[in-house]
Structure 1
Amino acid sequence: MKNIGVLILSHCGFSFVDQLAKAVQGRGYKALVLSSKPESADRPKVLEQLADWVQVTNNHTLSWRHVEQALSTLEADGIRVHSCICVWEGYRTFMANVNLLAGTPDITPEQIDLLTDKYSLRQFLVAQNISRVDVKCLTPELLEELKRTQQLCFIKPRRGIASFGAFKLNSDTHWHQLQNIVEEARHDPVYGSYFKAGVAFVVEDFIAGIECSFEVQVVDGHVFVVAVHEKYETTHCDSTTLENACTCPPVSMEEAVVKEGVSWLHRVLGALDITQGCFHIEAKVEKGRWEIIEINPRVGGSLISQSVEYFTDGRSMVDLWVESLLVQGSKRQNFMEDLADLDVSRHGNSPHNRETFFRVFYGEVGVVKTVEEIPVPLPPLVTQVFVTPGTEFECNSKENFVGQALWGGAVNELLSDVIALDEQAKNLLKVEYQPIVTKSVA
């Protein structure tokens, strides 16, 4: 595979590049990284140490023109691009287009467009009799009507990321609040490029119940559910929703309910004609009825991939996604047999008798003054801290990531007292803040 590689699309020098490059190189292919301009001047040097070929643009966001230029440069250098991969949702269509050119199985750009459009996807699911949730495009008049009738509703961007502006409607919600969120989104240093075309909001019936995420790999029309995470704790804020803690497998529902959810999910993906890809599918169940929250055509964020790696005894979602793009011939059938051995619908909630728990720590508006990791009785398997003194958080309308940690253990042991585990997990990181100093204009 000396002159064959996988093009990894990176946003600002990150987007799981380290995990993706390792998985690609571990299979004998070159890791080829195309990244938009990182915020840190040192990040390009780090990328060069991780990958076999690196190109960093001077733009905050990648465009299709950048991708085409990279493909031309690689061709001139005698390197053939076997496939493309990207976990940054804003570039997922680019990935599909490159795979289409390379002849590598993937979902189509049209399918990605449908899945990432919350309004069109919900309408499709309702038309297929898969969902009963009503969705509308939000206007100032509709907002006031919903408040007046006190309907239980959820507001979110029609195309969103990082839970930006995704929240429950309440009596204090006003149109100017949404317009403030739009401005915050458009000027955000990390996510701003995703919202450069503007932000349109939708409103739908609030979906009650226990929320889960299905970690799914689809290969040649065969659906494999590798893990199911329960969102053990979520926080509803004024202008966002935070997913604070997850368990795998779920702790608040019977195994039979999970299996019913998997069967229902097969129906959903069949209706969408999904035959390839990696998916992080969020759904809720109440009184035996499942409803889609959203379908993400990528690996789940936070510690989902690492959680799956421990849960399956060695196969992360990143690793499985990379292999699905690279494996061919008779080895492809062997790969599907491996996925079948991981499938929770065939082997129960935990095929390898393992459980995981992870907590994500979110920041407040302000400047990080100090950040400290506190020893806890059960040390985590993984701890990641994303902030240093001086890190600023300017708004509360999105997920402000401070850090995250993952715990793992045997079935009926780790999660036997999940309340106690969660309490010690909450104490792992101690962060102090100070106000943001507004610079005066002379």
Structure 2
Amino acid sequence: MLSERSSVDIHALHRQGFTISEIARRTEHDRKTIRAYLNGERQPGVRVQAPDPFDEFVDYVAARLTEDPHLWVQTLLDELRPLGFTGSYPTLTRQIRARSLRPACLACSHVTKRANAVIEHPPGEETQFDWLELPDPPAGWAFPRKNAYLLVGSLAHSGVWRAVLSPSMDVPHLLAAMTTLLTLLGGLTKVWRFDRMATVLHPVTKDLTPMFAAFAKHHGVQAIVCRPRSGNRKGVVEKNNHTAAQRWWRNLADELTLEQAQASVEAFARSQDDRPREDLDGKTTAAAMFPNERLRPLPPVVFPVIITEERTATRQALIDWRGNRYSVPPELAAAKVIVHQRLGVDTIDVATTSGAVVARHRVAEPGLGVTIRDTGHVTALEAIALASAPPGRPHRRKERIPPGPAALRAAAVLTGTTTAPSTVIDLAAYEQAAKNRNTLR
């Protein structure tokens, strides 16, 4: 970039007849630079801006932030990586601020603020649990409600967390999700902390519910419920809930099955183990703090919980269960049935809505997409299908079927025409005609 003084000098030398090469030698500038200023292609005092690689991503970023003003920059960075963006998190933040790409959300302009403090958690002391409601789950999951539910469990000391998807928040589904969650975390702490959910704390007696109390006794832990309006007391799991909602659920693809989504959230939670943390020795990571937890082993026997869910059988007398399909009696095709499964048992029972068990299957590995049929169900289904099939062969699409005798008679009545005369002549008439002919001779 040339200053105004330098621009005046090169124009003066050019008027005096000096060549561009001579002016470049005298002013110690490049010949292309001298030629650009003399031709008016560049202005003194104005620096030529290099092409900004972020320009090609501006439209996408602006569109996403217009659709979702609260979208995390880290979540946006996760979306931009597959699109070819190679910049860092600070670069993306700077570009959004410099270009004013994030609109203001008037609906959320009023936010309450309250004081909070950092609570120290000894290793192996506490695990925090909380439900995260996930609105608008993919239609392929066929959940009975409009929401899916994610049970998040966080180790309070290290911050390591895992999560389990569930179609319901009732007591059996809570205990089943906790059983899976404790396996994912790898063991038990001394204390479990919850908010005041009705499945844990009875809303009337303010005591633990009998089934959850039995579940806690089975694992040998102490269950603590937060005081009213003290959600920040379990801030570790609340922060992880926020992360799961904003960085995993927000851009989850519609085509994922429930089993694929569960694998996805498990992989995402494991990727969060490397996030930076702070302890008394300085900066570290959640994965580095995890060995200090020294979790107790899980009981060798699973707590007996029976999961009950409603399903609608298909016309082929099949039901979906954990990513696989199982047969039911053909009389229940397109009907509602109730599926029961006890934790720790590798079979499921299928019952009618009145409670009569009509089928039992050994469950396959979830998410395999296999179909398991009972031999008796197959035979009965084929018999019913064949009995209800029409006799004779089916018609071909291009088969020629002209009007038959019944249709022709009906057409004659409609048109008022008589039927064509018969072409069959009685032989007796021929014989009489022959006799008459002989008599005349």
- For normalisation by structure 2, the TM-score amounts to 0.27
Higher alpha-carbon Rg:
2
Between Structure 1 and Structure 2, which shows a larger proportion of helix residues? 2
Greater RCO, CA 8 A, separation 6+: 1
Structure ranking higher in strand proportion: 1
With the length of structure 1 as denominator, give the TM-score of the two structures.
0.26
